[in-house]
Amino acid sequence: MAEFSLADLERTIRERALSGDAQSWTAKLFAAGMEKAAKKMGEEAVETVIAAVGRDRDGLVSESADLLYHWLVVLAVADIPLSQVLQELERRTGQSGVAEKASRSTDRA
Ligand SMILES: N=c1c2ncn([C@@H]3O[C@H](COP(=O)(O)OP(=O)(O)OP(=O)(O)O)[C@@H](O)[C@H]3O)c2ncn1[C@@H]1O[C@H](COP(=O)(O)O)[C@@H](O)[C@H]1O
């Protein structure tokens, strides 16, 4: 099986968003706008947390997939390409998260 990536899903979402297909959940979310898309993403995030805390491994996989899909929809509604988020993650490589947080605390002091 060819490798599936988030970039593939992002492409599908952008195509479906403008399809006007009444059967497309993506098109429905786009038509409803950012508040609805972000609300769905929030619900999926909470369901992911519940699965994680409940040590529900199958649930965590399934809810993570729901979350990633809805996160990509929110990015698409905001017209932010996935590549921009990946660039930000790449920029952070090599810096420990603890050190980064400590540097922010110093900034605020
Ligand atoms: N990955 C997904 C995906 N994950 C979840 N969902 C939909 O997200 C919706 C919300 O999920 P919920 O479980 O919250 O459903 P709900 O009916 O609101 O349930 P509750 O709120 O009652 O819990 C459901 O309709 C799911 O089918 C998705 N819809 C689409 N995709 C991808 O997007 C592609 C295009 O889909 P369409 O735009 O629908 O053609 C698909 O081929 C998939 O690759």
pLDDT given at position 105:
77
pLDDT given at position 106:
67
pLDDT given at position 22:
93
d(CA 5, CA 3): 7
pLDDT given at position 107:
62
The predicted complex's ipTM stands at: 0.90
d(CA 10, CA 7): 5
**Structure-token match 């409803």, residue found:** 32
Q: How close is the Cα of 65 to the center of ligand 1, in Å?
A: 10
Asked if 13 and 26 count as a contact pair (C-beta separation under 8 A), the reply is yes
List of domains in the chain: 6-80 (1.10.287.1080)
**Series of mean pLDDT values for 10-residue runs along the chain (109 residues):** 91 95 96 97 98 98 98 98 97 86 72
Distance between first and last Cα of the chain: 53
Cα angle for residues 70, 74, 79 (degrees, 5° grid): 140
Residues with CB under 6 A from ligand 1: 9, 12, 16, 24-27, 66, 69
pLDDT given at position 43:
98
pLDDT given at position 71:
98
